[in-house]
Amino acid sequence: MTISFAQRLDHVETSAIRELFKLLGKPGIISFAGGFPDSALFDVAGIRAAVNAALDAEPGAALQYGATEGYGPLREQLAAFMATKGARDVAPEQLIVTTGSQQALDLIGKTLISPGDKVIVEGPTFLATIQCFRLYGAELISAPIDRDGVQTDALERLIEQHRPKFVYLIPTFGNPSGATLSAERRRAVLEMAVRHDTLIVEDDPYGELYFDAPPPPSLLALSAEVPGSRERLVHCGSLSKVLSPGLRVGWMIAPPELLAKATMCKQFSDAHTSTFAQATAAHYLASGAMPQTLARVRQVYAERAHAMTEALQLELGAALAFVPPRGGLFVWARLTGAGGALADGDEFARRAIERGVAFVPGAPFYASQPDRATLRLSFATVGVDRIVEGVQRLRLALLG
Ligand code: PMP
């Protein structure tokens, strides 16, 4: 039979990136294409101990249905974790546990977006957010970014012009941009939220993955200093990039009214995030292992990021422009076309695959007006030697 799908699916299509991923099975390929953390860095022993502790201490709770808002001890641990990240005044009742931060984004879409509503995102932004918000019928408007994150003057003009339902930002080590919003601009965003009575969504899965120095405080932490901004702020966090994405533990901090609606929608969706995963995460955080885990992953990603940016400068020189990231998993780059070299990300990706190296072209990360010369390279899962070799292959693909 011909299945008649819901109209909302008319707005979304499978991404070009998925098509590219099909080619990654080629033997010997070096992949800078993924967005995953390195599974070799997972603290398996620590997580095993947390699983055992959860089953020993409260087998009933860990294996039973649970509250939609989340498992109490985990909400407490997450509030304490947020305090270590500078947001000292978040009470456990002000956050709900979500099935990855991806679910928080879905709940935000579900509770706030009616078909035709306008939402401002960064250009470029996280692809799954674009798809998710489009599924709810949002009209997405891209705000330009530079090395210091979203350009706040342009953002304010767009807010005035479009009166969006909300603004979605990844202020710290963005995916795919790698960019970090400066401290001045963070304050400007919060002041703007108050001035224009606009809701801001801060998506922050990467903030802990800094290399040399911590990033400026999150919008959530800073909101304590900007009167009226907290009630206009939603913050999404995740253990995926720092501990394990397979646990599917994320969280959402939002004004009470919104949190209540999101909880109601979550109830109809998955009832609650896996209690087993939540109890495991709670015991892991309570064990005190997190600071050491963070120190380890930061160091490894810093080494890889450094190896990649150094190799790119050496091998591709003026043909590729990029800002070395200060954290996160990605280098966002732009083909300059210098010396008549190729300046199309899609074509470069195709040639690169032939040379045995993969990355993701940048165009799909734009909700509108794509810059086709851009690309995203992830250094997260590739060892330093293979990074250097992969970049040499990129040179061959681009410059021959
Ligand atoms: N937001 C951003 C910016 C991301 O890059 C990701 C994962 N790639 C997510 C949200 C979702 O992560 P998770 O659902 O695993 O927490």
CATH of the domain at 17: 3.90.1150.10
Question: What's the 101 CA to ligand 1 centre distance in angstroms?
Answer: 6
> Which of 101, 125, 203 for a ligand 1 pocket mutation test, highest count of atoms within 8 Å of Cβ?
101
CA of 315 to the centre of ligand 1 (A): 31
Is the pLDDT score of 23 beyond 80?
no
Distances (CA, A) of 214 to 67, 197, 304, 350: 34, 30, 18, 36
Q: 56 C-alpha to center of ligand 1: Å?
A: 31
| Residue 1 in domain | no
23 with 162, same domain? no
* Residues at CB less than 6 angstroms from ligand 1: 35, 100-102, 126, 170, 175, 203, 205, 238, 240, 245, 250
Which of 126, 132, 236, 252 to mutate to test ligand 1, by most ligand atoms within 8 A of the CB atom? 126
DSSP strands (E only) in 256-399:
320-322, 330-335, 357-358, 360-361, 374-378
Identify the domain boundary among 268, 289, 310.
Answer: 289
Are residues 262 and 166 part of one domain? Answer: yes
Is residue 208 in some structural domain?
Answer: yes
Do 247 and 357 lie in one domain? The reply is no
Residue 76: CATH number of its domain: 3.40.640.10
Q: How remote is the C-alpha of 238 from its chain's centroid?
A: 9
Q: Which of 7-16, 137-146, 209-218, 229-238 has the lowest mean pLDDT?
A: 7-16
> Exposed (0-12), middle (13-18) or buried (19+): which is 144, by Cβ within 10 Å?
middle
What is the pLDDT, as a whole number, of residue 315?
A: 96
Ligand 1 centroid, distance to 383 Cα (angstroms): 23
Across 113-122, 183-192, 339-348, least confident range: 339-348
Query: Could you say which DSSP state residue 211 is in?
Result: S
* Helix-strand-coil split of the chain, %, nearest 5: 50, 15, 35
Indicate the residue among 274, 289, 304 that finishes a domain. Answer: 289
Could you tell which of 102, 132, 170, 270 is best to mutate to test the pocket of ligand 1, judged by most ligand atoms within 8 Å of the CB?
Answer: 102
End-to-end CA, the chain = 50
Distance CA 101, CA 99 (A): 7
Closest CA to 375 of 337, 321, 339: 321
Which pLDDT does position 18 carry in this prediction?
A: 66
ipTM of the complex: 0.99
* Residues of the domain holding 145: 44-289
Is cis: bond before 176, omega within 30 of 0? yes
How far away, in angstroms, is 245 Cα from ligand 1 center? 9
Q: Is 340 exposed, middle or buried (0-12, 13-18, 19+ CB in 10 A)?
A: exposed
The per-residue pLDDT for range 213-248, each reduced to its tens digit, is: 999 999 999 999 999 999 999 999 999 999 999 999
- Grouping H, G, I as helix, E, B as strand and the rest as coil, residue 164 is coil
Q: Could you tell me the distance, in angstroms and rounded to a whole number, from the CA of residue 387 to the centre of ligand 1? A: 24
